[in-house]
Structure 1
Amino acid sequence: MDPRSGFCSTTQIYHSLRPNVLLPPQSASLSATDYVLSLLHQTCRSPETTVGLIDAVTRSRITFSEIELRVKTLADSLRTRIGLSKGDSAFILSPNSVHIPILYLSLFSIGVIVSPSNPTSSESEVSYQIKLSKPVIAFATSAAARKLPQLRHGTILLDSAEFDSLLTSQSGEFRDRVEVLQSDPAAILYSSGTTGRVKGVVLTHRNTVAIVAAANAVRPVRRSPPVTLCTVPYFHVYGFFYCVRAVAMGESLVWMERFDLRLMMRTIQEFRVTHVALAPPVAVAMVKDANVTKGYDLSSLEVVGCGGAPLPKAVIEKFRKWSPNVQVAQAYGLTESTGGVARTVGPKESQVLGATGRLMSNFQAKIVDPTTRIALHPLKTGELWVRGPCIMKGYLEDEAATAAALDSEGWLRTGDLCYFDHEGYLFYVDRIKELIKYKGYQVAPAELEHVLHSHSDVVDAAVIPYPDEEAGQVPMAFVVRRSGSTINESQITDFVAKQVAPFKKIRRVSFVNSLPKNATGKVLRKELIKLALSSASSKL
């Protein structure tokens, strides 16, 4: 194995350069909650006084000792008073709140499968997800509850006296622990559905244990615990991972119900936030509007972690100019891998422009030619395949999709075009399904989007394939102009043409007020394709 890249020329496999993490024996009875709380006792010196959860708006705080007590009390209440049992599924429809991490850990501990969803989903979307996960109970806010059907144990409102009672009323001695196997399902998370119908991704307790252990393996030694502001939703794998790992690693987690840029700045200043977890649109907003940070003391900020979608190079460069002492840490992950496959860790790694980091502990990877299925060497682009203890159990009630994604050796075919360099850094190129086929050439939309983002008059941009009788498909750009800008189509196309090969040129441009995106900032290109085609039809 090459010690610089982790690539083995014999097996054609890339190995993680991180320390290997020894996980609990697979046969051991261990829930994700058991592991999280045992790790908390190792990482947090004074759980009675160390604040674990902070509400950015109300400023209320809960210590780690209180978190642990509430987790055990709620778990006991859900078993004795509600009647939940191992193997049941619980649907959760709520924005971020102080209750969500506690609810997740309580449900894990009694073997109930957590199934969180976006509270802004439509009733038909919620109905489809419930059909998949078959929950016996739902937890929701009053605002979202109307979207839910009647379930066996009903819906418990998170903002109600009933839930407060479940959370705080002890029934005497706690009941015996539930025996949860690591192979048991812990969560059903829903794929983003950016290129097809949403699928239910089944993650096990083992998956959750492994991803937390991998994060703990690269945790730096600090004088004081980090304070992390999580601006991403807990129902997405990105936020799901953060709210579980924060408890395990004794980190103070500041949460926001709904994102607000100025509230974020005030929160960083007030709580001396050291780490921020955000999606690309937030990073773009921070560097596009210089006035938004004026008047705030952000000197505590050490790392801005960005995941969920690629962050354009131009934005990273502007971020560095805006705050040269803050590390921009990117990551690559999927719902199917329980989050981060690769991450940038530390100041040195964060300087590698465009990289999404190095493989996390216990992961292996291949870069495979999509056509020939031949494994490729460093600097060669192909489909990323990954393997390790964090890889999902499969797609819920979809054997065909599971077989298409997972092979018999445990490799997950990501559907993403990537490459590794000679230092073991992973670089994301684009989704294979989203490549534009222009006269036999393959054009990556993400590459053109990086170019567009570097223009001072472009606030946001996305590129899609547009059908063309002669070429097959041509690149079409949807552009959000800077306020007051009069830049036109020819100026956009000329700007891009000067920086790319002729076959990659933008052929059509549409100016829009905003781009459709999912909760973590991933552009919904299929919505833009529909818009482009409907606009073309209306002109005929």
Structure 2
Amino acid sequence: MARSTLPDIEIPGQTLYELLFGELDDADLDRVALIDGPSGDETTYRALIAQIDSLAGALAARGLAVGDRVGILCPNIPAFATVFHGVLRAGGTATTVNTLYTRDEIAAQLSGAGASWLFTISPLLPQAEAAAADAGIPADRLVVIDGAPGHPSLRDLLFDRAAPPEVDFDPATHLAVLPYSSGTTGHPKGVMLTHRNLVANVLQCEQIIPLERDDRVLAVLPFFHIYGMSVLLDFALLKRAALVTMPRFDLADFLGTVATQRCTWLFIAPPIAVALAKHPLVAESDLSSVKVVFSGAAPLDRALATAVAERLGCTVCQGYGMTETSPVTHVIPVGRDDVDRSSIGFALPNTECRVVDPESGRDVKVPRRGRGPSAPGELLIRGPQVMSGYLHDDEATARTIEPDGWLHTGDIATVDSAGVYTIVDRLKELIKYKGYQVAPAVLEAVLLAHPLIADAAVIGVPDDDGQEVPKAFVVRRAQDAGTTGTGLDEESVMAWVAERVAPHEKVRLVEFVDLIPKSSSGKILRKDLRARRGRHAALV
């Protein structure tokens, strides 16, 4: 067991609202908090807090009680901050929903979380309205932020001009958010994160991520994802920086927004790093304002990090975390050029780590100085940012968190004598596609519903840029075996899946096989599939 090399900090018993907005002077209140990237419209901290308080009052007046669950299906726009923090200010619990989800996926999350309200925008209303109906959410509690007939708008709620409610709950136990994660294996589960979890993590980040008041942070990573929610939306507001929101990633718009708004920090996932390193548009753009590119959500290769740093003339570093840890546990400090860029750096304050041999369960020995990294083992984490568990899933919680608080990450890591950790592999079966979690079990269930598929398995494989994509191994039903050009082919398999899942969950490669290798207990032997070098369809 090893504690962080950084000194512990005190975690106050505050709500997230109290931490972020409780102590602003006039100078802070008149600073710009949010900038809408496409339009350039600005929102000051004063205006943001007024909107948050008004929304909290309106929700309480319309029946929202402490502990009620509220779905948020919304891209990165300034109003997201108002809705998210307004829900928390009223004592509600926000469950943020992937904007790429299908009707069925949205409904499943809303029902699983027990949501009684849903906020969305008009372009997403068709799937939102259908999903809300499936989940039993009435039309007057489906709020269309920018307005739509038959539903309240955000403006309607703000114009209620209701005073924010007096709420009383324990920040250490009261759920602030319910993001959904597939955890170390299986189907998406509601991750129970308290106000204390979120407060702790932004304060832990403050000790090692030197964001400053005059920085402008590009917010293209989605706020519905824990990385965007905590590291961008909450941490940037804590530091009184300005968040420049982008509703979706488009490289030309991304580069133009950086240049126009003079963004100084870019929080990204590795696929954006690939574009920054290789795309010719980058050479035509003024990115001279960029000081730091900070990567997360999936591993960043050393060569790619170096290429971005050299091309942009900035610092590139990465961090590590999980939805289950609010999310950050490790960071490479800015300015520590001696730390390997392919590592995840040091543990945050108040964070304990273990590297455990998966076979024996014993802690791996940390080497002495100058002897290189330790043997690999599963990384376990303990700290105030660790979730309280999975919603309505005691069995999965018990598998993930030990009775003494140690959380199993499912990732295989090494550690050196200086306390630098490196992720080298992972036990878990999740695929990280462009920073999004893709559960093989979900895609396998979709594949097995096809009438011409007898068996199927899905793994992650690297594409030409070294990023992970979902690949399906498919066994045809006997009557379709050997068919070429008609019936079940690679394109039809990918189309079948694409019609039933979110875009980031699509199968990108297909290989037909005679059988899926399995253990005597029926478990898919994914390592055998990873060892194959068979024919497959081109990337799509």
TM-score interval (norm. to shorter): 0.7 to 0.9
CA contact (8 A) 1:207 1:392 kept: yes
Structure 2 counterpart of 1:158, which letter?
I
Instruction: Please say if 1:320 is aligned against 2:309.
Output: yes
Question: Which residue of structure 2 lines up, in the alignment, with residue 439 of structure 1?
Answer: none
Note the 1:75-114 alignment, pairs <5 A.
Answer: 75-80=56-61, 82-114=62-94
The verdict on how the C-alpha distance between 1:523 and 1:370 changes in structure 2, with shifts beyond 3 A counting, is farther
Instruction: Please say if 1:330 is aligned against 2:318.
Output: yes
State the alpha-carbon separation in 1 of the partners of residues 255 and 338 from structure 2: 22
State the alpha-carbon separation in 1 of the partners of residues 54 and 159 from structure 2: 6
Question: Which residue of structure 1 lines up, in the alignment, with residue 446 of structure 2?
Answer: none
CA contact (8 A) 1:95 1:258 kept: yes
Deviation at 1:174, TM superposition (A): 4.3
The verdict on how the C-alpha distance between 1:210 and 1:90 changes in structure 2, with shifts beyond 3 A counting, is same
Equivalent in 177, 180, 201 of residue 190 of structure 1: 180
Question: Which residue of structure 2 lines up, in the alignment, with residue 482 of structure 1?
Answer: none
CA contact (8 A) 1:462 1:523 kept: no
CA contact (8 A) 1:328 1:350 kept: no
Deviation at 1:221, TM superposition (A): 8.0
Structure 2 counterpart of 1:229, which letter?
L
State the alpha-carbon separation in 1 of the partners of residues 420 and 116 from structure 2: 44
Deviation at 1:218, TM superposition (A): 2.9
CA contact (8 A) 1:85 1:111 kept: yes
Question: Which residue of structure 2 lines up, in the alignment, with residue 16 of structure 1?
Answer: 4
Runs of 5+ consecutive residues of structure 1 not aligned to the other structure? 1-12, 436-444, 453-457, 468-512
Structure 1 counterpart of 2:18, which letter?
D
State the alpha-carbon separation in 2 of the partners of residues 463 and 181 from structure 1: 39
State the alpha-carbon separation in 2 of the partners of residues 464 and 79 from structure 1: 43
Structure 1 counterpart of 2:292, which letter?
V
The verdict on how the C-alpha distance between 1:133 and 1:252 changes in structure 2, with shifts beyond 3 A counting, is same
Question: Which residue of structure 1 lines up, in the alignment, with residue 210 of structure 2?
Answer: 220
State the alpha-carbon separation in 2 of the partners of residues 417 and 69 from structure 1: 46
Question: Which residue of structure 2 lines up, in the alignment, with residue 483 of structure 1?
Answer: none
Note the 1:134-533 alignment, pairs <5 A.
Answer: 134-147=114-127, 148-150=131-133, 151-152=137-138, 154-160=141-147, 162-171=153-162, 173-192=163-182, 195-220=185-210, 224-241=213-230, 242-289=232-279, 291-323=280-312, 325-349=313-337, 351-378=339-366, 379-434=374-429, 449=462, 458-462=464-468, 527=507, 531-533=510-512
CA contact (8 A) 2:211 2:236 kept: no
CA displacement, residues 113-153 of structure 1 (integer Å, 9 cap, x when unaligned): 10011121112211221221011111111222332223155
Deviation at 1:353, TM superposition (A): 2.6
State the alpha-carbon separation in 1 of the partners of residues 80 and 514 from structure 2: 42
Deviation at 1:167, TM superposition (A): 2.7
CA displacement, residues 349-383 of structure 1 (integer Å, 9 cap, x when unaligned): 57523111210111101000111100012322100
State the alpha-carbon separation in 2 of the partners of residues 433 and 286 from structure 1: 29
Deviation at 1:100, TM superposition (A): 1.1
Secondary structure of 1:309's counterpart equals: coil
Greater shift, 140-149 or 175-184, is seen at: 175-184
Question: Which residue of structure 1 lines up, in the alignment, with residue 52 of structure 2?
Answer: 71
**TM-score of the two chains, using structure 1 as the length reference:** 0.76
CA contact (8 A) 1:109 1:178 kept: no
**TM-score of the two chains, using structure 2 as the length reference:** 0.76
CA contact (8 A) 1:234 1:240 kept: yes
The verdict on how the C-alpha distance between 1:70 and 1:428 changes in structure 2, with shifts beyond 3 A counting, is same
State the alpha-carbon separation in 2 of the partners of residues 225 and 236 from structure 1: 25
Question: Which residue of structure 2 lines up, in the alignment, with residue 37 of structure 1?
Answer: 21
The verdict on how the C-alpha distance between 1:220 and 1:318 changes in structure 2, with shifts beyond 3 A counting, is closer
State the alpha-carbon separation in 2 of the partners of residues 116 and 66 from structure 1: 23
Deviation at 1:433, TM superposition (A): 3.4
Secondary structure of 1:120's counterpart equals: coil
Structure 2 counterpart of 1:301, which letter?
V
State the alpha-carbon separation in 2 of the partners of residues 93 and 60 from structure 1: 22
Question: Which residue of structure 1 lines up, in the alignment, with residue 480 of structure 2?
Answer: none
The verdict on how the C-alpha distance between 1:135 and 1:535 changes in structure 2, with shifts beyond 3 A counting, is farther
Identity over aligned pairs, percent: 28
State the alpha-carbon separation in 2 of the partners of residues 374 and 359 from structure 1: 20
CA contact (8 A) 1:363 1:387 kept: yes
Question: Which residue of structure 2 lines up, in the alignment, with residue 61 of structure 1?
Answer: 42
Equivalent in 129, 132, 145 of residue 109 of structure 2: 129
The verdict on how the C-alpha distance between 1:523 and 1:284 changes in structure 2, with shifts beyond 3 A counting, is farther
Deviation at 1:247, TM superposition (A): 1.5
Secondary structure of 2:27's counterpart equals: coil
Structure 1 counterpart of 2:357, which letter?
D
Deviation at 1:459, TM superposition (A): 3.9
Secondary structure of 1:380's counterpart equals: coil
Question: Which residue of structure 1 lines up, in the alignment, with residue 434 of structure 2?
Answer: none
Structure 2 counterpart of 1:170, which letter?
R
CA contact (8 A) 1:349 1:357 kept: no
Secondary structure of 1:532's counterpart equals: strand
Note the 1:1-12 alignment, pairs <5 A.
Answer: none
CA contact (8 A) 1:313 1:353 kept: yes
Deviation at 1:251, TM superposition (A): 1.0
Considering only aligned residues, what root-mean-square deviation do their CA atoms show, in Å? 3.2
State the alpha-carbon separation in 1 of the partners of residues 228 and 86 from structure 2: 17
Instruction: Please say if 1:47 is aligned against 2:28.
Output: yes
CA contact (8 A) 2:345 2:420 kept: yes
